[in-house]
Every structure is written in structure tokens, then in C-alpha cells.
Amino acid sequence: YQRRVRGIYKRPLYCNMQIPKRDEEELIRQTPEIFIEKEKYELNEALPEDKSAILWAFLASYLPTDEQSIQRFYVQHAEYSLAQTRQDLTHKKRSAYQALAYSVRDRLIERWKDTEIYFNQSDVKRVYYLSLEFLLGRSLQNSMSNLGLTNQYIRGLRNLGVKMEDLYDQEPDAGLGNGGLGRLAACFLDSLATMNYPAWGYGLRYKYGMFYQVMKDGNQVEMPDYWLSFGNAWEIERFDIQFPVYFGGEIQQIQKPDGTAKYVWKHTEEVVAVAYDVPVPGYNTYNALNMRLWSSKPSNEIDFVSFNQGDYIRAVEQKQRAETITSVLYPNDNTTGGKELRVKQQYFFVSATLQDITRRFRHTKKPWSEFPNLVAIQLNDTHPTLGITELMRILVDLEGLSWDDAWGICTKTFCYTNHTVLPEALEKWSVDLFERLLPRHLHIIYEINHRFLELVQEKWPGDIQRMSRLSIIQEDPKMVRMANLAVIGSQFVNGVAEIHSELVKTQVFPDFYELWPHKFKNVTNGVTPRRWLHQANNQLSEVISRFLRTDNWLTDLDLLKELREYAHEPKLQKKWSSIKRANKAKLAAWIEKKLGITVSHDALFDVHVKRFHEYKRQLLNILGVCWRYRQIKGMSYEEKADVQPRVIIFSGKAAPGYHQAKRIIKFINNVGQVINNDAEVGDLLKVVFLPNYCVSLAEIIIPASDISQHISTAGTEASGTSNMKFAINGGLILGTLDGANIEIREEIGEKNMFIFGAKADQVEDLRKQMRERTLNLDSRWNELLKLIEQGVFGNFPDLSTLLSSIKDGNDHYLLSADFPSYLDAQEKIDAAYKNKKLWNTMSILSTAGMGKFSSDRSIRDYAINIWNLKVKIWVLVLFVFFRRLEHILLFFLAV
């Protein structure tokens, strides 16, 4: 407790027990060196400073976790935090959820504060993970599970007449992310916390998320995602942590006494970044990390001059303009205003983050040369790349470092993860936009580029074309290449799957790889088994633990390989299939409740859930469904009896400005409307589109899948992580040899997957044949297109535009080339599914081979090979050991 008084860390006093009042008084009497002696003070007389500190440490001891204490804190939050009575909570489940969330958050905060104190005192290097999105999902169930308190809360609330399971759905998904990029970031935070690494996540607090997807006449309609309407119980608003962020203006050059130039940025617009902190608990550890999100506020709330003149709109114009920056994730950038908002959003994010990181470093009183030894900054894609120029601005303009010293610090601090091989996904912004919004940063980019091109000229004299490719500035039109800036300013660049990392070297950045081969590394993505198996599919998790005789696989996923010896065990197979059937029944009930469509959970559930994009080829899937429908329609009654019933499940969002992806969604819904209302087909085939795909919906879909489709054109998907989530839950994969599918095949065996399609090294030749019209197309493809054009599956104005993208040599993503092998793979699936014993064996072996694809392994790779992050695990173990030892000693003292 003396260490706690000095602010090093605290230890839990009564973490898992209660000491009766009389024993507590005796304990206090016997330990005067820890607790305050019984002294009487006058009403106006304060305790001495040392005794006040000890009193604080005593009162701040860890909250007890017994049933009565859980009940007490739940009721206290209901009564005093929410001003609700027991009668109110009977009818207001949302209030009951909030009281429960506040109670759980209290236990997160105590660990979260101690973790921060511990790492501060340990003076360790920290990693700061910068991501424009974190797709967290819901936090209540995950937090209780990681804290190990789920059963205590279930029992405690049950005796108060509250079913905790009824409260889970009251929590909205956090609107902080959209797709795989954000979910990967969330998995990484979970692993960083669980593995006791010192780390923070940084992002933005979006008021309306990306959008809430609804379907109107089969079309996607974007609505605001009002996820903050009732507040966010998991965040702590930090009014004490605010930073100014500037835009616009001009640069003023000042001559310093030593003859060198100093640049002053005379800005014209100021926005304030306010911090919101969200604790992220590790599993089965006291470690709890921080995710800091920034919200934009105006520097002046209201223009009173305009208000008093009756111009009320102008009076709040600055407020609206400032708050727009963090209103929506990925605003549509098809307009000039949208592009400007994107750049402002990205710079606002990195400016606030770098100001916060450098502020924390200044407190160490160490020289700036030590900065890379205490700080590692990971750029999750190109969105935070402006952080490189912002750190240069801080070091050169504000801290007075020389350019060479500042650049040396930057290039040892930043690391960049590339997530795409598609040229259009590598961000570029116009120079004019930078001149208007960030003139000083454009000046810094020019200087970085000038010095870098001198290095290129030295390496390859006179090679103008290579200099043009490597330059940060693209000519005609003049654009800033953010990916080039990220590579130049980072110590390491990594891909996210083995095939992707090779494509990064050979196709995306071949010249950079030739210049700096040591920079390029691979870290294959992973997912957290705590969320995607233990929480999403708890029954299966319990069965796995029972057969492995341990639950240690939750933090050491390689242990799953021991399931292989039980793959043919009838007892496991029976349990395995019954859990799958129960999960399918749960999803079927959800579909009927939300969509009014009845599906049989005895059918094969064929799932395709992803962000909608042409390269992900949802269109190939629905074309295969159309062909399946055509076959069924041509069958006799006897032939239909041999057909394997299927439910085809789609879900995912299209970017608001991506019209072709929206056309695919419309076509899927049209096809579903035709098939689902055809009495001749009945339950043999159903097509459903589940709107507003999110983490909580994925937790229902993924455990229920029999087959999941990951069918991107080979060489276009960086990694993918949904394939990992399905496979770890025993869902078999139908996929191409693309992204992480290749490594999954190596781990679980090709015989336990269904592989089809062209390989990456065949794609360019096929595209050439496609353009030259020399590729022989399957007759089934041509017949199917004619049926669609005849209106068999309905019609809509943009149908011809959609079809033209896969006809007449325009089939860039090779749907027509892969169509025959896709249909062959589907036939193999039908045959395998009819053999239940074979299918169950394949499913078990799929789960058993997924040890490599834990996000824990990914984070360990980052920590060792990229961040050079060292954690003294034995210190942490002793830390926890002495915490628990203290409980025992206090117990015996009390007795």
C-alpha cells in the first residue's frame, strides 16, 4: 500500500471475498502501518497528508465480485446513476442494460488505471495502433467473459429477477467501423490486452457510424446509425484532454540567427479534439488497455455577433462544420466536398493522436533521440499516413530539431500495414486540396520527396520513369500518393498474408522492394478466438474444452490440433452436429422474425457475408444460384427428391458511392424475390439478404454456416479474416486460392475445403484472352446470361449496366472464366453434405487446423519482428501472484 500511496500501482483488497465488519475492524486495528489509526480529529481539522493518501488507497481497493456485491452495485447504478426504480427497470430493459454496463465498467476501470500506472512506472516501449476504424461490436458480453465474471453476474441478476440474456440485445453495435480492416483492429486490441503488451489504440468517435443499411424495393438505402442515441456506457469522456487542430492559411518563413529557416503555419481554422477513452480488457489477466477516440468540437460554440444580428444559421455554422469531421465514417468522396472532408478527417485524427503521444513522451524528460525506443506507431492502412508529416512538423517546427534528426526519429517510429493490391484502393489526394487545407504539410511532403528522389537518382542515375513511379507526387494530375509516403516514412512495411506480401513486393511496390528489401515483411492476419468462438459459439467452445480437458486453447490456439484424434469419434460428431443444428435453428428464427421468410434449418446453409465489391464476386455467387434455380425448374418430381436443399445467405454493405456494388445487391434481392415465391421450388432453394451486417449479426450467422464463400479473383484479396472466423467454427470454405485461403489450405488440408478457379499467376493471361475475345466461354454461362436478359429474374433500370461489366471482354474479375469450376465445386459440396459422417469429420478438422490464425500469433509476430516490443512476462506473473497472495494473507489476518 505504500507503493500505491506513491502512485505506482494498487492491489485489490477484497477481490473475491467479503470480510465481516467486526473482522475488518480487527484487521485495521492489527495493521496500523497500512490503515489509519483510530484518531479523533475536530470537524475542521484534516488528516495528515500521509494518512489521507493511505485512506484513499484503502477506499480505492478492488471491488468485490461476490454475488451480493454484484447485486449491490447493479442496484446502486440503477437508483443513483440512472435514477430508476425496480419498477422502472421491469419495463425499461435499456435502463437495466445500462445499469449492468456501468457495474461491469467499474471493474474494467480499476484494472485499466492500474495497467496504465504499471506500464508508466516500468518505462516500457509502447505500441500505438492507429486505425480509422475499430469494429468492436457489443462490449457487455465480451467484457464479462474476459473478466471471468459471466456466471457471477448471471446468478446475481437472476436473484433480482433479471435475465441477463435479455439485456444483450439492448446494446447497439458501436458505430466505429465497417469491414475487415476495423474488425482486425478490434481483434488486435483484444490480443494486445490478453498478452499483456503495453499498447494503446487510437481512432475516431463517429457520431453516426458509417450508415445503417435498410432495403427498399431491393435497393440499399443508407440511414444514419444512431448508435449514440442513449449514450455509450463504455466510454469515459475526457474533458481534461483536448488538443487544437488547425486547417488552412499559409506558411510564413522566418530567418533564424544561425541563418537557417524556420516555418510558421498561419492557420485560418481551428477545431478542438476531445478524447473519449474506452477500456479494453484482456482475457484472464489484470491487463486492460486503452482505446482513445477523438471527437471534433468547435473552438467557439457560437458566433454571438451573428446570433444577435438575427443570422442564426451563421451563428452555428462553425460548430456544424467542426462536428461534421467526426460525424460519419468514410464520407462519400465522389464530390469535392466529400474529398475535403476525408482529408480533414484523416488529419484531425493523426494531429490529435501525435499531440497526445508527444505530450506523454515529454513527461519522461528524456531527449527526443529516445523517442523510437519508447514509441512504435503502427499505421493500419494509408488512412493515418499524414501522421508522418505531423510528427515532422512537431519535431522541426515546435521542438526545434534539425530535419535530419527529426527524419531519423520518424523512420524508426512508424510502421505501415498494407491491406490491398488494388491500385484504386491506394489513396491519392489532389495537391490543390493539400495547398488549401494543409499548406505546411504539403511543404513537408515536397521536402521529403525531394530528398528521397535524390537517393533514387543516386541509386538509378537517369532513370526518369522509375523516379516518376517512386515519387510521392504524381504528375498530371498532380496528386499526393499516400502509400508512397507511408513506405518512405516507415521502418517496416508488411502485408497480411503470404501471397499478399509477395504481391506487395512484386506488383504493388516492386521498385521500393528493390531499393529497400529489408523493409518488407509478412504478418498473416488472425482473429480472436475469445470473441469468435468462445462468445459467439459458447456451446461448441465448451465441447472443445471438454474433449481437450482444458480451456487453455483460448490463449494458445495451437492446442486445437489435438482435436484431430477425436475427429472420427461418434460421440464428438453427434455433439458437434447437434450444436450446428441448434445454431442454424437460431439463425432461421432470426430470418423469420426480421424478414418474414421461413427457411428450413435442415437445409445446407450457404453463406456469403462481406463488404460488397466486384472483386469479392458476390455476383458470381448469385449467378450460380440462378443456374441452380434453372436446373431445379427443369427437373421431374423424382429428380427433385435427390436435390440437396439450400439456403443462400447474403449480407454486407456497399459504399454509398459504389453504384456497381449497389446494383449487385439489387440483383440479389430480385433473384430472391423470384425464387422464394416459386412454389415449384419450395424449400429446395431459398435466397435471403440480411440487411445491416454488423458484428452482432455475424455472431449469429457464422456459427450457423455449413459453407462460407470466399471467392475473390485470385490475387485481389489481401487476406480476409471472415474465412478464419467461419473455419474456426467448423464451417467449410468454398474459395479460390487467394488471400489467407492459401495458408488455411496448408493448415487444414485441401480435402477439407472446396477450391476452384484460376490461380494468381494465370489471371493476367486470362484477362488478355478476355479482352481479345479468344477465351472460350462455357455454354452454361451464355445460356444463363440470356435467361437474365429475358427477365426471368426480374428487371430494373441498371440491369443492363450490371451485365455489361461481365460481357463483351469487360469481365475484369473473370467471373465467366471461373464459372465452370465454380459449378463443379458446388456439385462436390452437395455430394459431401449428404454423407453426414464425412461432413462432420471435415468440419472438426477445419476447426482443429486453425491454430495459426489466432490474432495472438499475429500480435506476437508484430511484437518480435516489427515493433521490437519486449514484455517481461515473469514480472507480470509475479505482479498477479502477489496480488492473489495478498488476498490469502488478508484472509488469515481477518480470521
Cite the active site residues: 419, 610-611, 616, 721, 725
Q: In three state form, how does the secondary structure of 293-340 look?
A: EEEEEECCCCCHHHHHCCCHHHHCHHHHHHHHCCCCCCCCCCCHHHHH
Classify residue 260 by burial, with Cβ atoms within 10 Å: 0-12, 13-18, 19+. Answer: exposed
CB 212, CB 222: distance < 8 Å: yes
Cis preceding linkage at 477, omega within 30: yes
Give the DSSP letter of residue 843: H
- 448 half-sphere exposure, CB direction, 13 A CA radius: 33
Please state, in angstroms and rounded to a whole number, the distance separating the CA atoms of residues 425 and 495: 15
What is d(CA 376, CA 484) in angstroms, rounded to the nearest whole number?
A: 20
Find the Cα–Cα–Cα–Cα dihedral 693, 695, 697, 699, rounded to 10°. Answer: 140
Residue spans of beta strands (DSSP E) within 536-642: 604-609
Give me the residue label for grid cell 471471468: 148
C-alpha cell of residue 731: 464451417
Report phi then psi at 570, rounded to 5.
-60, -35
Q: Are 731 and 706 in contact (CB under 8 A)?
A: yes
Helix (H) or strand (E) holding 650: strand 646-651
Residue with cell 498477479: 880
Which residue, among 512, 578, 202, has the nearest Cα to 357 in the 3D structure?
202
Cα(308)–Cα(770) distance, rounded to whole angstroms? 67
Within 13 A of 269's CA, how many CA atoms are on the CB side? 18
What is the 8-class DSSP label of residue 361? Answer: H
Q: Of 601, 654, 648, 602, give the one whose Cα is nearest residue 626.
A: 648
- HEC string for 847-886: HHCCHHHEHHHHHHHHHHHCCCCCCCHHHHHHHHHHHHHH
* Joined grid coordinates for residue 233: 456506457
> Rounded to a whole number, what is the distance in angstroms from the first to the last CA of the chain?
21
Write out the DSSP string of 395-440: IIIIS---HHHHHHHHHHHEEEE-----GGGS-EEEHHHHHHH-HH
Q: Which residue type is seen at 775?
A: L
Give Cβ neighbours of residue 251 (< 8 Å, ≥ 6 apart): 263, 264, 265, 266, 439, 440, 443
* C-alpha cell recorded at residue 363: 513527461
491/520 Cα distance (integer angstroms): 9
What would the grid cell of residue 761 be?
499467376
State phi, psi for 471 to the nearest 5 degrees.
-60, 145
Taking the C-alpha atoms of residue 434 and residue 765, their distance in angstroms, rounded to an integer, is: 39
> Do 187 and 176 meet the contact criterion of CB atoms below 8 Å apart?
no
Distance, CA of 378 to CA of 126 (rounded, Å): 11
Strands (E), 59-164: 126-130
Beta bridge partners of 252: 264
Q: Give me the helix-helix angle, 570-595 and 538-548, nearest 10°.
A: 170
3-state secondary structure of 519: helix
